């Protein structure tokens, strides 16, 4: 996937206003994002740019040409800067007044505006000074960039811009080796990565320079620890200036919160009693399913119940889950899917300026895993693998394939949420398999194909899982 897809800008409902801050690849990220958006795209900076970076744009204008630019037709990626500083061979950033003019132009033309709003002297890491970063208040998305090549390096001016401030925020001493934990502290500090982010803006952490398997593994460990301060964490290896025009960026993973919805509203007519409450290893089926979802890091875990809500509530006492009642449970599994998705709307606050498509106020979950209450044999490993597969592809549907047969659970990406809310009938999410491409995940566990529909099935299940 490209950076535009990773940022979810393929589901825009309005042209984004994006600020790139931090260190370790801001300019590369800004231009690569611009290339992935439908043009024209306005690109600018409030800090210095190198003269060589002008060639990354299709057209370049100085800020005193904005009025003339507004009267012209233009296309592609348009870079607007301040004047050339002849002594340093660098291009100055635009003034605050001219930035407002650019915003007015972007609004009038209904086109994206991307801003590099921080300086880092081309070092992998930085901490902001008192006057930094100058993020405009109108920005709806802030991408905080960190260069992973700084991990393991000494905390010195060679690797970190403003190392003394970085030391204060991270708890390290000058010269100490920079650890993942230290980077997490800086990125999540109100005076660090979160500094000057406008209220209501969407926050994205871009862990760049993941150029080796070791750095990719470190980034994967860092990513979940940046929630909820960041709604999305992208692990990438973006091109350097020299290779930007000819290379394809590597986006290794996009980490977003993944929720779980456990469908537990069925009445089990064929079985004769609630399957959700059947005993397995001393606990009800539903308890095991909820436990595995929690252990896999899914959050929140929503359990959709029908007439057995009181018994299920008792079975799940003490577990940090959200229990809801589906009054329409008798009308089919589709209504429980719909109820589960609706229940997520009250869990996390939604950025009020979010430029990407949201559904009925549902927060920025990357996806939802739907689990069946009569499948206690699912494993934490399986759920983590589903999430990991989704982080690497953002495919609309990620489903299991066991011995050539479709199996549960299934992960649905946020692009499917509107359709999930429109479901009805018995089929549930299967109705969407013909609408969206499915990423099939092979899994070698025949136990996932076991259905407990009758007492005989239950006896066989107990024998096979003893």
User: Please, what is the end-to-end C-alpha distance for the chain in angstroms?
Assistant: 43
CA-nearest of 229, 226, 200, 260 to 409 is 260
- Rounded to the nearest integer, the mean pLDDT of the chain is 91
Task: Report the alpha-carbon distance of residue 214 to residue 216 in Å, rounded.
Answer: 5
Task: Report the alpha-carbon distance of residue 316 to residue 144 in Å, rounded.
Answer: 39
HSE-CB at 258 with a 13 A cutoff on CA atoms is 30
- Per DSSP, the residues of 383-433 read HHHHHHHHHHH--SEEEEEETTEEEEEEEEEGGGHHHHTT--SS-GGGGGT
Q: What is the 3-state secondary structure (H, E, C) of 148-206?
A: HHHCCCECCCCCEECHHHHHHHHCCCCCCECCHHHHHHHHCCCCCCCCCCCCCCEEEEE
- Domains for the chain: give ranges and CATH numbers: 3-254 (3.40.50), 258-464 (3.90.550.10)
Strand-strand pairing, 367-372 and 405-413: antiparallel
**pLDDT tens for each residue of 257-315:** 999 999 999 776 666 678 899 999 999 999 999 999 999 999 999 999 998 999 999 99
Which of the four pLDDT bands, split at 50, 70 and 90, describes residue 358? low
Q: What is the pLDDT of residue 53?
A: 86
Q: What is the pLDDT of residue 246?
A: 47
With a CB cutoff of 8 Å and minimum separation 6, the contacts of 395 are 389, 413, 437, 438, 439
Task: Report the alpha-carbon distance of residue 178 to residue 180 in Å, rounded.
Answer: 7
**pLDDT tens for each residue of 56-75:** 999 999 998 888 777 677 88
Residue 434: pLDDT over 80: yes
pTM of the model: 0.91
**pLDDT tens for each residue of 365-404:** 899 999 999 999 999 999 999 999 999 999 999 999 999 9
Tokens at 311, concatenated? 């018994």
Residue 3: pLDDT over 80: yes
């Amino acid at each position: 996937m490209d950076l535009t897809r990773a940022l979810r800008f393929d589901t825009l409902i309005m042209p984004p206003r994006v600020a790139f801050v931090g260190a370790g690849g801001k300019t590369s990220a800004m231009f690569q994002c611009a290339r992935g958006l439908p043009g024209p795209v306005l690109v600018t900076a409030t800090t210095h740019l190198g003269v060589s970076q002008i060639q990354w744009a299709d057209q370049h204008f100085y800020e005193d040409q904005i009025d003339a630019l507004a009267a012209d037709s233009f296309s592609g990626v348009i870079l607007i800067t301040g004047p050339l500083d002849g002594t340093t061979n660098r291009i100055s950033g635009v003034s605050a007044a001219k930035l407002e003019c650019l915003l007015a132009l972007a609004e009038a033309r209904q086109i994206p505006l991307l801003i590099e709003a921080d300086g880092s002297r081309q070092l992998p890491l930085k901490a902001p000074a008192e006057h930094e970063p100058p993020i405009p208040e109108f920005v709806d998305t802030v991408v905080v960039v960190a260069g992973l090549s700084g991990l393991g390096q000494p905390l010195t001016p060679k690797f970190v811009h403003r190392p003394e401030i970085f030391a204060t925020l991270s708890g390290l001493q000058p010269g100490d080796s920079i650890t993942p934990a230290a980077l997490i502290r800086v990125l999540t500090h109100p005076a660090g990565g979160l500094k000057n982010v406008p209220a209501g803006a969407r926050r994205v952490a871009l862990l760049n320079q993941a150029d080796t398997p070791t750095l990719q593994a470190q980034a994967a460990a860092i990513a979940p620890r940046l929630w909820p301060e960041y709604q999305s964490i992208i692990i990438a290896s973006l091109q350097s200036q020299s290779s930007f025009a000819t290379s394809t960026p590597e986006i290794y993973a996009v980490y977003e919160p993944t929720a779980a919805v456990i469908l537990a509203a069925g009445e089990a007519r064929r079985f004769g009693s609630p399957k959700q409450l059947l005993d397995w290893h001393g606990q009800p089926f539903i308890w095991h399913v909820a436990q595995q979802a929690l252990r896999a890091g899914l959050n929140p875990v929503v359990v959709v119940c029908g007439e057995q809500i009181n018994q299920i509530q008792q079975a799940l006492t003490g577990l940090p889950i959200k229990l809801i009642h589906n009054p329409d449970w008798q009308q089919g599994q589709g209504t429980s899917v719909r109820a589960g998705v609706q229940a997520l709307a009250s869990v996390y606050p939604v950025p009020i300026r979010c430029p990407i498509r949201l559904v009925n106020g549902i927060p920025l979950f990357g996806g939802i895993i739907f689990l069946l209450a009569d499948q206690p044999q699912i494993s934490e490993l399986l759920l983590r693998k589903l999430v990991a597969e989704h982080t690497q592809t953002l495919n609309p549907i990620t489903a299991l394939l066991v011995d050539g047969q479709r199996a549960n659970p299934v992960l649905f990406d946020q692009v499917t949420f509107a359709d999930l809310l429109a479901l009805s009938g018995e089929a549930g999410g299967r109705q969407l398999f013909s609408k969206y491409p499915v990423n099939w995940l092979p899994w070698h566990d025949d136990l996932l194909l076991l259905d407990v529909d009758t007492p005989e099935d239950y006896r066989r299940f107990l024998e096979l899982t003893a």
